[in-house]
Amino acid sequence: MDHFLYRDGQLYAEDVPVAEIAAAVGAPFYLYSTATLVRHFRLFDEALDWGPHLVCYAMKAASNQAILKTLAAEGAGMDVVSGGEYARAKAAGVPGDRIVFSGVGKTGAEIRAALEGGIRQFNVESEPEMRVISEVASAMGVDAPITLRVNPDVDAKTHAKIATGKSENKFGIPIARAREVYAEAARLPGLKVVGIDVHIGSQLTQLEPFEQAYTKVAELTEALRADGHEITRLDLGGGLGIPYARSNEAPPLPTDYGALIQRTVGHLGCEIEIEPGRLIIGNAGLLVSGVIYVKHGEGRDFLILDAAMNDLIRPAMYDAHHEIVPVKEAAPGAELSPYDIVGPVCETGDTFAKGRLMPPVAAGDLVAFRSAGAYGAVMASEYNTRPLVPEVLVHGDQFAVIRPRPTFDDIINRDTIPEWL
Ligand code: LLP
């Protein structure tokens, strides 16, 4: 459920007409709903109510400071994957003991910065990385709290580019070798083993792969405890999917997911951490765009929008489907016609949808991409020197620009000219 609904023939974000925001900010822009964001966070938090837990928002999905502050005020932890994300989490006021550090290639400098600023745990992805954490922490005279990310060799049944839990993927330590690597962790100075981490992929629309992975983690917990390790935390990753096409998709709900976690690992008495990103922010965000032209081509019609692949790369990169709806509600029974919906960038890949059935649309109209909150603004670029689109946050009947659109001068002045020119 989200808070982008039609009222009186107009799309609203909570209590604000989207068209009013467009008039103030100019299209295209990302638009987030506080109520939706908070609701989704609470769904996870409540789904784990049966025991000690921390929901660490995977901020790679959308990392604007205003979004982080909203979630931090709800008690969220953060899952970060770079020194930059760590700095963002700290800048939003998230205490170090609520930040977990994931990612396959943490550098010595990133590790040091996190140890200096405070960190809940590093989720270690390889033996070389574990040794660097050991060296950095020992040199600082501290113990780095770690989990090892195990790769359970489970098929997440999602898009190949976002599946991470198969043995051929670059992520984690093969679960079959975990006991050996934990033994080395216990021997190395500067490390304190606190638990196990697993993450098998993103946009999972079934619970079975989670069940398989978490069952393996439960078995590993028992084995590691028998080996003498203290396993007090299980980080079970993120990945629960959202309905992108409203008509036919019904992914499992956070409550079902929480019950599955309780069933598979609840008996172990561990503190549970999860790292959801998409389900928290995905349906809490729209990309609002204007129609520049309606072009009648050879055997097909094109809607040429002012948003492009640089603003929302998901359709080009993952063949992702986003619902695209008119901001002014279509008249009941309006005739639908097929359009190829495209942006102005000079590549055929700049196509959001092919043959998409739309009600009558004219140049100057506004449309909204639904479910664009996750991996939308954060994956945007300035390709074709198109300024990064602004981000706007709605809260009840208020809205605020939370990242302004840069001017052309802002963009140009980021370049520096060598003295020989
Ligand atoms: N934890 C780890 C270690 C991850 O790698 C990810 C996502 C998450 C948590 C959060 O997963 P989520 O709950 O958001 O599914 N750009 C792609 C998605 C990439 C996901 C990468 N890792 C897309 O637009 O679909």
pLDDT of residue 165: 79
Task: Tell me the C-alpha distance between 246 and 322, whole Å.
Answer: 10
Q: pLDDT exceeding 90 applies to what percent of the chain?
A: 93
Handedness of CA 11, 15, 17, 22 (dihedral sign): negative
Question: To the nearest 10°, the Cα dihedral for 307, 204, 2, 322?
Answer: 30
Q: Of all protein residues, whose CA lies closest to atom 19 belonging to ligand 1? A: 162
pLDDT of residue 160: 81
pLDDT in tens, 207-244: 999 999 999 999 999 999 999 999 999 999 999 999 99
Q: Who contacts 42 (Cβ-Cβ below 8 Å, separation ≥6)?
A: 74
Which of helix, strand or coil describes residue 322?
coil
Between 3.40.50.10480, 3.30.360.10, 3.40.630.30, 2.40.37.10, what CATH number should domain 4-31+282-412 receive? Answer: 2.40.37.10
Q: Of all protein residues, whose CA lies closest to atom 23 belonging to ligand 1? A: 375
Nearest to 193 by CA among 237, 151, 233: 233
Distance 274 CA to ligand 1 centre (A): 12
Task: Tell me the C-alpha distance between 82 and 168, whole Å.
Answer: 23
pLDDT of residue 172: 93
Assess whether 346 carries a catalytic annotation: yes
Q: Is the CB of 40 under 6 A from ligand 1?
A: no
Which of helix, strand or coil describes residue 400?
strand
Work out whether strand 29-33 and strand 366-369 pair parallel, antiparallel, or are unpaired: unpaired
Q: Is the CB of 237 under 6 A from ligand 1?
A: yes
Q: Of all protein residues, whose CA lies closest to atom 8 belonging to ligand 1? A: 238
Q: Who contacts 187 (Cβ-Cβ below 8 Å, separation ≥6)?
A: none
pLDDT of residue 245: 87
Residues for the chain: how many in total?
Answer: 421
Distance 201 CA to ligand 1 centre (A): 7
pLDDT in tens, 365-382: 999 999 999 999 999 999
Nearest to 307 by CA among 108, 94, 30, 11: 30
Task: Tell me the C-alpha distance between 159 and 157, whole Å.
Answer: 7
Does the structure show a pLDDT above 70 at 248? no
pLDDT of residue 179: 97
Q: Is the CB of 315 under 6 A from ligand 1?
A: no
Does the structure show a pLDDT above 80 at 258? yes
Which of helix, strand or coil describes residue 4?
strand
Are 217 and 274 in contact by the 8 Å Cβ rule? The answer is no
pTM above 0.85, yes or no: yes
**Which of the residues 1, 250, 346, 421 is marked catalytic?**
346
Distance 200 CA to ligand 1 centre (A): 9
Average pLDDT, the chain: 96
Q: Which atom of ligand 1 is nearest to the CA of 102?
A: 3
Distance 275 CA to ligand 1 centre (A): 9
CA angle, 262 then 120 then 178, to 5°: 65
For the residues 154-170, what does the mean pLDDT come to?
Answer: 83
pLDDT of residue 12: 98
Domain ranges of the chain: 4-31+282-412, 34-280
Q: Among all chains, which residue has been given the structure tokens 């639904």?
A: 370
Task: Tell me the C-alpha distance between 213 and 156, whole Å.
Answer: 9
pLDDT classification of 301: cutoffs 50, 70, 90: very high
pLDDT in tens, 81-134: 999 999 999 999 999 999 999 999 999 999 999 999 999 999 999 999 999 999
Task: Tell me the C-alpha distance between 200 and 218, whole Å.
Answer: 15
For the residues 59-70, what does the mean pLDDT come to?
Answer: 98
Does the structure show a pLDDT above 90 at 350? yes
Q: pLDDT exceeding 70 applies to what percent of the chain?
A: 99
Same fold, 4-31+282-412 and 34-280: no
Nearest to 210 by CA among 179, 181, 182, 241: 241
For the residues 150-161, what does the mean pLDDT come to?
Answer: 90
pLDDT of residue 247: 66
pLDDT classification of 1: cutoffs 50, 70, 90: confident
CATH class of the 34-280 domain in this structure: alpha beta
Pocket test for ligand 1, best of 161, 202, 379 (most atoms within 8 A of CB): 202
For the residues 303-321, what does the mean pLDDT come to?
Answer: 97
